[in-house]
Amino acid sequence: NGMLKKIPLIQKGENIIIETTYGKYTYQVYDTKVVHQTELDVAPIQREKEILMLYTCYPMDTIGYASERFFAYANLVEES
């Protein structure tokens, strides 16, 4: 899947635009991190504010099972 392979290239300060039938949403990345699969508590469900959290297996060039995950966290900055 091409989109998932691009997630580890995301950097802090970068904008991510999501277009849905509800509208267009722009998020700005405020943090990224790589964690071991057993440390997934870094991905808590956020209820206080709306954020976007993307994650994928890492590193992407691993053949077979990858034991780490790359996370990108972003705040909503604009919707139209």
The average confidence (pLDDT) of the chain is 86
Residue 1: per-residue pLDDT: 53
Whether 28 has a pLDDT exceeding 80, the answer reads yes
pLDDT at residue 62, as a whole number: 74
| pTM, full prediction | 0.81
Task: Give rounded-to-5 percent helix, strand, coil for the chain.
Answer: 20, 50, 30
Maximum alpha-carbon separation in the chain:
40
pLDDT at 49: 79
Beta bridge partners of 73: 31, 53
Asked whether 56 and 70 are in contact (CB, 8 A), the reply is: yes
The residue count for the chain: 80
pLDDT digits (tens, 9 = 90+) for 39-71: 877 666 667 878 899 988 888 777 778 889 999
Query: Does a cis peptide bond (omega within 30 degrees of 0) precede residue 8?
Result: no
- pLDDT above 70: residue 77: yes
